[in-house]
Structure 1
Amino acid sequence: MTVIDRRTLITGFAAAPALGALGAAVGSTTASAVDRYPSNTALYADPTLVEGVDHRRRHRRHLIDDQGPRDRTAFIRTTVIAPHGGDIEGGTSELCLAVAGHHPADLAPTPAAGPVHDFWMFEGLRPSDNRALHVTSTHCDDTVARAMCAGSLNVLSLHGCTTATAGLEPGARAVVIGGLNSTLRRYLMEEFAAAGIRAVNVSDEHELSGLDPANICNRSLLGTGAQLELTTELRAAMFTPGRNTRTDRAANTLLLFWSFTTAVRSAIQRLEATQPIR
């Protein structure tokens, strides 16, 4: 069991590159050929897009008030993110909220006594062509997202993919697990297996491996994280047929949605149990 000292955490965070430096690094990265925007910054600067109409950002940080000489406030260890929420990769916003510990319909704590994590998401709100708002994870330079990930021991990123991109047979309901946190990946595989959900722990060479240190899921305080890519078919099976739309999904979740959420939360909880803060 690894004991993490609070002073070490603060020192490490202070020594991390400033947000401006991080943004510069992303700006120097070659943009993905399939993305219209090379970064979130470029997307936000587009005068043809209106925040609140074309897209929006949502996040929640929890207050940590640690002033007692002996007692210690619980440390928020994990941030859950959905960089392509709304109708960019449908269903990932709702999963992000649920994994973080909020019911997606009304943000009520769910379950009431369960762990509650910080979360951040970027969502496409357009009636069509939301794919144009996709910024690949290695180019995500949203300052709030970067700050939240950099201040967390663990980051879990939720995405949507096709079976073709995942390298699976057509119609497969599966989740592809990537990222640099091998322990969290193992826990996720075990929890999905227990829940009866098909999961694939991809190889280093896989397109969805999520091993690039620049990937937003790996920009945690420890430099590692996990990335979950859910096939279109798996996400569709999580919502009432005919209600799998941005306006209806949150209030029409099915048992599979909550089984998936519980498996992910259990894996995170197991990881956090190995990271006591003193």
Structure 2
Amino acid sequence: MVLSLAAHAAGVLGPAALLARHASLAPQLASNAFGGPLVLQSDETPGRIDGDVYAVLEHPFARVSTALADPAQWCEILILHLNTKYCRRVELQGATHVQLRVGRKEPQAIAAASLLDFAWRAPQLRPDYLSVRMEAPEGPYDTGQYRLQAEAVPLDGGRTFLHLGYGLSYGGASRFAMQLYLGMVGRDKVGFTRVARGAGEAFVDGLRGVVERNTMRYYLAIDAYLDSLALPPGQQLEKRLQAWFDATERYPRQLHEVEREAYLRMKRDEVRRQAETR
């Protein structure tokens, strides 16, 4: 269904290289199985997997850069992800952190979810370029060295070219946990990239599939959040929740997990809890 490019993790490109990447990806942005100007890439090396999304956003650069340069607004974005149970911006020893609690695809107590403590790097913010980066040294199940980054440049017509990167390192415990997961509830879970397998092709699976799915979910959360900002504040939350779920349902093979009402009910409660406990 969905074809992606094999590529090395991009890291932060910078404004000139990001514009060059937009030009080089023009054919894939214009024609792909995603149904819009979007390219997903992933790369797996021993002990590490990275995913990158390149997309043209129908939002002006000023709106994108204002939202993504603010760690508090990142929490409004990240809470849309099915597995994010809680997010808050905190100051620790003079440094900004974005602390996530990630867990099950169902209601869960904050304390029962795993902590991802992202150190927030001061963003590069210019009239023609934005770059933000968060890094977490440790995660659940022997994972670590998480990176979550975004960079953007303005395009003609009030649009923005976005590069979103997400990746992690993993060890033996991660591989064992994934084997258990794939042998049970996750046995049908795949990513978006097609790779050679036997005499044909198949979607990637395992941890690479996990990273591709999460990279896509984070991108869809950014887009849903930006879309909601055009509405009055009292209508924004419901708009972004509905939009994120609808966007994931366009890729049911990869991203369908729960039914709409279960997602909406859970997220309304989690957003309320997040607001009350800051």
Same fold (TM over 0.5): no
**RCO greater where, 1 or 2, for CA within 8 Å and sep 6 or more?**
1
Instruction: Give the TM-score, by structure 2 length.
Output: 0.29
Point out the structure with the larger strand share. 2
Instruction: Give the TM-score, by structure 1 length.
Output: 0.29
